[in-house]
Amino acid sequence: MSKTELAEVSGLSLPTIYNIESGRSTNPQEETRRRLEKALKLEVPKEVEKEAAQEQQITGLGTLKDFDPYGSDLPKCPGVLCLF
């Protein structure tokens, strides 16, 4: 499958596919990984999922999570230090 075909089937952008394949993006978001898994009709091994989850941990901050600026899960006040 070409990069262009993979982008179309997965619903991801061509630059996203290129960045993952070239190693520029070493830890794609969970939704991106799921789309690639579905498009390629593959199942990610549990060890790889566990490693990706560990890489999303930041000491003192917790786990990184996907953020949708258009979603309903937005902070109630402005600023970086605002608590939900």
Q: In sequence order, what DSSP letters do the residues of the chain get, joined into one string?
A: --HHHHHHHHT--HHHHHHHHHTS-SS--HHHHHHHHHHHT----HHHHHHHHHHTEETTTEE-----TTSS---SSSSTT---
Q: What is the pLDDT of residues 46-68, one digit of tens each?
A: 898 888 778 777 888 777 666 66
For residue 26, what pLDDT is reported?
A: 79
Instruction: Give the predicted TM-score (pTM) of the model.
Output: 0.62
For residue 58, what pLDDT is reported?
A: 80
Q: What is the pLDDT of residues 9-28, one digit of tens each?
A: 999 999 999 999 998 887 78
For residue 69, what pLDDT is reported?
A: 65
For residue 35, what pLDDT is reported?
A: 93
Say if residue 84's pLDDT is above 60: no
